Amino acid sequence: MPVAAHFDRDYRFVMFRCSGNVAINEARRAFDQTLTDPAMEFDQRALWDLRNAVIAEKPRAIPDLLDMLHHRHPDRVAGARVAILVNEEHGAGVSTLVEKAGSKSLTLRVFFSYADAARWLAGHDI
């Protein structure tokens, strides 16, 4: 499965682990299902682990995903924090895409360390 979601009970956030070739529509579907699933404890914090994924999408895909979240789930994403975990060799490119995407209602940050991402999602300054 290219995108698998689960709830990290220790840090209290949803983690999306991506592996192999991942299309943006798979990521969009995983986020949408999580936000609409009453059994999933979405607490306005999510981690996307892209370290084992190959995402061959146009840069416009990130803003499109954010637009979908804003329009379909405005109450659930308002004030949310989303961490993106990448390998260091991809960090600059992903950081640039995230900065360009911007977001009015949620905060996005790119990390190379799971521990740093988890601390930031818990509200600590990193």
Q: Which domains can be identified in the chain, with CATH numbers?
A: 3-121 (3.30.750)
Mean pLDDT, to the nearest integer, of 68-72?
75
DSSP the chain: --EEEEEETTTTEEEEEEEEE--HHHHHHHHHHHHH-TTS---SEEEEEEEEEE----TTHHHHHHHHHHHH-HHHHTTEEEEEE--HHHHHHHHHHHHHH--SSEEEEEES-HHHHHHHHTT---
Name which residue leads in pLDDT, 32 or 55.
32
State mean pLDDT over 42-60: 73
| pLDDT number for residue 116 | 93
pLDDT digits (tens, 9 = 90+) for 12-27: 888 888 888 877 777 7
pTM: 0.76
